[in-house]
Amino acid sequence: MGMALSLIFEKTLANFYRVVYNDVGGLDMRIADRVSLYNRYFSACKAVGPVKEYFEAGIPDDEIAALEALRALDTALSQAYEVRIPVITCWVRDSNYVPETLEIYLTEPDVRAFLHQFRHHLQNIERRGIDRAGLLVEGNAEIARLPYTDCEHRMLGEDDAVAWSEMLIEICKK
C-alpha cells in the first residue's frame, strides 16, 4: 500500500509542477504571477459570492459600520467554508491572525487586510483538521501544494494569503 501512495504522490507532484511551469513559465513565482494563477483556479471559489455581496452593498464611511460590515462578511465566509467564525478585533497596532485563539486583529476595518487574515484562518483550519484536507484549493488535488510552493516570503502561507485576497478583490470589484 505504501508503494501505491508513493506513486500517487509522485503523479500529483508531477502534475502540480507541470501546471506551475505551464502557467507562469517557471518556478520563480512572484505575487503578481500567483494572483494571475489564482484567478484561473479560484475565480469561482466559495468566497466570491460573499465578497461580491460585500462590495455591492457598498463600504460604509463610518468606521463602526465598516467593522460591522466586515463582521457580516466574516460570518458569511465562515458559513461558506464551514469553519468556526474567527473573532475580529479592530484598532490594534498590527493586523495579524492568532491561530491559537482563532482571532483576527486589524489596524482598521479594511477588507483587504481582513481577507488576508481570513485566508490565514483557513490555512490554520486546514493544517489542524484531518478532515479538512484540500480546504485551501477547494478540493482540487492536482494543485494541493500550490499555496505553499515557490514563495517569495519566508513566512509559510504569506504569499497565498496576499494573492488570494488580491484575487478576490480583483474579481469582486468588477
Cβ–Cβ < 8 Å for 136, 122: yes
pLDDT of residue 89: 96
Residue type, 112: R
Among the listed residues 37, 112, 41, 34, the one whose alpha carbon sits nearest the alpha carbon of residue 70:
112
- For residue 119, the model assigns a pLDDT of 93
d(CA 38, CA 35): 5
Predicted TM-score (pTM) of this structure: 0.80
pLDDT at 101: 94
pLDDT at residue 43, rounded to an integer: 83
116, 95 in Cβ contact below 8 A? yes
The reported pLDDT for the residue numbered 170 is 93
Cross-sheet strand order for the sheet of 87-90: 87-90, 103-106, 96-98
Contact 104, 87 (CB under 8 A): yes
Write down the residue that cell numbers 500550490 correspond to: 146
Matching residue, cell 465562515? 78
Per-residue pLDDT 10s for the chain (174 aa) are: 445 444 444 444 444 444 444 444 445 578 888 888 888 888 889 999 999 999 999 999 999 999 999 999 999 999 999 999 999 999 999 999 999 999 999 999 999 999 999 999 999 998 887 677 778 888 777 777 776 666 666 666 788 889 899 999 999 987
Q: What are phi and psi of 89, to 5 degrees?
A: -120, 130
Q: What is the pLDDT of residue 31?
A: 82
